Amino acid sequence: MTRKKRILSGMRPTGHLHLGNLHGALANWIEMQDTYECFYFIADWHALTSDYDDTGNISDYVKNMVIDWLSAGLSHEKSTLFVQSHVKEHAELFLILSMITPVPWLERNPTYKDQIAQLGNKDLSTFGFMGYPVLQAADIIIYKADCVPVGIDQVPHVEITREIARRFNYFYGNIFPEPQAILTKMSKVLGTDRRKMSKSYNNAIFLADSPEEIASSVSKMITDPDRQRKNDPGNPDICNVFDFHKLYSDKSLVDEMNAECRKAGIGCVACKKKMAANLINFLEPIREKRSYYEQRPELVADIIVTGSNKARKIAQQTMEEVRSAMKI
Ligand code: TRP
Ligand code: SF4
């Protein structure tokens, strides 16, 4: 039997996860649990690269994210779930890699310039922010991961990781495999305003939302913009609510809404109510599991400690090889 390939991926702790995260990264991660040896971690040190001035929420965000993961179907029995800052070896390898990484590689990184432009109100001219991909490289190669499932925006970071691994191997001997990016299938859900779903756009529906919050968010969703009045026929093909119906309603209701909308047989309010009910239903098992874990904080803490201990064992082994290769 051949060994399962090892994958590793991480998320920054952003607070609660939303439907976009669920149908994007998380769904992919859950699916891969049976075919790969999976390491999933919360990149809390990465959060510091941009949110260094306000760290008070990070540990709550970490706990919340673990609960979201478990509730959505990541399994601490199948996969190793851990927190970056619990495995200090990441920091040691980061330091070593920072010695061999040429600054121009980091300056060339497209996400570096993008983020500085996007977060213009924030001083990101820090050493740590520029070194973000070096920390990410350490995260990945310390586990000798074969593959890294990531969104398209993270592909340049995996590319830099490969370059850093190659450079390390060139100087000190062949220790690190070069990891491959696996492109995450994109989520099809948009935010309630039809932009990309994002916490910072205020257009997200969260896994932890109550049925009332979901109903209220759905009631505010933008529909076919050309449909002004209830008697105007609508076009489901350009309606975000209809896209949600396709995800959460069964085929007969989807067909019915499709037909009724086109002949103005149903109004948007009623159509949204039907979709909201199905979305609330769909998220019900996740909400149930969430409340189970929320009532058992010691269990959640234990899952994090156990996962981090497992990860640390491997990270320590790698660091021994690194020190010995470098004769330190
Ligand atoms: N940079 C990633 C993001 O913002 C998170 C991350 C940190 C990561 N370290 C990683 C992802 C290692 C994959 C592998 O989404
Ligand atoms: Fe969209 Fe439904 Fe309104 Fe048609 S009836 S425009 S599908 S919300």
Cα–Cα distance, 283 to 72 (Å, whole number):
9
Kindly state whether residues 246 and 308 are assigned to the same domain. no
Kindly state whether residues 276 and 314 are assigned to the same domain. no
190 lines ligand 2 (CB under 6 A): no
90 lines ligand 1 (CB under 6 A): no
Kindly state whether residues 281 and 319 are assigned to the same domain. no
Report the nearest atom of ligand 1 relative to the CA of 11. Answer: 5
Q: Is residue 61 part of a domain?
A: yes
Q: Is residue 202 part of a domain?
A: no
* Mean pLDDT of all residues belonging to the chain: 95
Kindly state whether residues 112 and 180 are assigned to the same domain. yes
Q: Is residue 198 part of a domain?
A: no
Cα–Cα distance, 115 to 133 (Å, whole number):
13
In this prediction, residue 1 carries a pLDDT of: 60
224 lines ligand 2 (CB under 6 A): yes
Cα–Cα distance, 10 to 83 (Å, whole number):
9
pLDDT along the chain (328 residues), means of 10: 89 94 95 97 96 93 97 98 98 98 95 84 90 97 98 95 98 98 89 92 96 98 92 95 97 97 96 98 98 97 98 98 98
Q: Is residue 200 part of a domain?
A: no
Q: Is residue 194 part of a domain?
A: no
20 lines ligand 2 (CB under 6 A): no
Kindly state whether residues 176 and 213 are assigned to the same domain. no
Kindly state whether residues 34 and 181 are assigned to the same domain. yes
Cα–Cα distance, 244 to 247 (Å, whole number):
5
Q: Which ligand is nearest to the CA of 243?
A: 2
Kindly state whether residues 105 and 28 are assigned to the same domain. yes
Report the nearest atom of ligand 2 relative to the CA of 258. Answer: 7
Cα-Cα-Cα-Cα dihedral sign, residues 216, 220, 223, 228: positive
Indicate the burial class of 317 (C-beta count within 10 angstroms; 0-12, 13-18, 19 or more): middle
275 lines ligand 2 (CB under 6 A): no
Question: Ligand 1 center to residue 18 CA distance, Å?
Answer: 18
What does the DSSP assignment read for 291-318?
HHHHT-HHHHHHHHHHHHHHHHHHHHHH
Kindly state whether residues 286 and 311 are assigned to the same domain. no
The string of pLDDT tens digits covering residues 21-45 is: 999 999 999 999 999 999 999 999 9
Q: Is residue 140 part of a domain?
A: yes
In this prediction, residue 111 carries a pLDDT of: 87
Kindly state whether residues 180 and 253 are assigned to the same domain. no
Query: Residue 284 maps to which CATH number?
Result: 1.10.240.10
Report the nearest atom of ligand 1 relative to the CA of 136. Answer: 9
Q: Is residue 314 part of a domain?
A: yes
Kindly state whether residues 14 and 154 are assigned to the same domain. yes
Kindly state whether residues 77 and 151 are assigned to the same domain. yes
Indicate the burial class of 206 (C-beta count within 10 angstroms; 0-12, 13-18, 19 or more): buried
In this prediction, residue 166 carries a pLDDT of: 98
Q: Is residue 197 part of a domain?
A: no
Strands 6-11, 37-42: pairing is parallel
Q: The whole model's pTM is what?
A: 0.94
Question: Ligand 2 center to residue 271 CA distance, Å?
Answer: 6
Q: Give residue 244's domain range.
A: 209-290
Query: Residue 100 maps to which CATH number?
Result: 3.40.50.620
Q: Which ligand is nearest to the CA of 134?
A: 1
Structural domain count, the chain: 2
In this prediction, residue 280 carries a pLDDT of: 98
Question: Ligand 2 center to residue 143 CA distance, Å?
Answer: 48
221 lines ligand 2 (CB under 6 A): no
Kindly state whether residues 181 and 270 are assigned to the same domain. no
